[in-house]
Structure 1
């Protein structure tokens, strides 16, 4: 049976807002690296921040999506755009900053995505799937709009979807046991965040099918 305390509304909203800012920053920073103007920054920030959550909400029937019923989900990306517009010269390595913020958004959104799926009565596997989709959906849209190959499909790309899937899986398991909910959810987010960063640092990649040498 799902343990309801872990999925209280306050915790879910907090996770969503943190993830929204992190993803918005990754989108805005990518726009700066691509030399886009202010409108381009806003487009990439918004689509990265709310894209995965909108897809999740449409699938589970949470209509209209939370991004369009709570103005915070629009103001936070715009704030991130303004911050990045003026502060980006302080960031010496924009590409590294994009990856760090993207990892933070990935960690938070896989948790909030799985959480909301469970709240809406989905089973473990659909919840894990939607948690992963929530985490990677906005980044995929961002990369496509910026004419980059999405990290999840890039040949030789470091672990991306797998950390999100692991995080969503942990949340689904935690939902069945009582305990210190906030601590465990926080540790799960840290685990996913660090796993993604370590994968980038040490070039950890997912398994690939065996290839036979043709003669």
Structure 2
């Protein structure tokens, strides 16, 4: 079988294993995105347009994080415990086809939440979207980067360590990351940390793509995300080829 046929085979295998769980994960991301877009507005007695726009454009970034950095690693931790990852390594297919198949599945899981939260935000608040041609590239690089990082640490760490990291990332991203508010509100040491980590870069890229008249992202943010993406997939390839 060629690479594409192998990827298609593994895709069917993984989809059959996950079954209805895929739909559950997609529903989970929809609820999370609506919770940010709509639920977070209840925290404010009066909310202005800039804040609404931050929440509306921050929801997609949270979907990437909750899918690629929490749900996916947890799923891999379970698969590792059950021996499914070891089984995948025994298949007579290119290891890259396994990575590609799982990447496709998780990218598809993210799409419904982003579409629904964006439409709901526009319908309820009209926050000031101004879509740029970079929407598709921003979506792809952000989603794939989160998947790469999630894959990387879930393969290299034990199942218990993976679960712990997922919890820290989920709550840390929700409360202490400049996704739904400007980075200037954070302490200087935390601002510096976010300059190194990919979350702030991801949030900037997504905001500038969904509202390019209000926000902008420099090329360095794309380079930063690509660097993290390469590191993540390099870790995965190392694990998959390790005997």
TM range (shorter): 0.3 to 0.5
What TM-score do the two structures reach when normalised by structure 2?
0.39
TM-score by length of 1: 0.43
The structure where helix makes up a greater share of residues is 2
Larger radius of gyration: 2
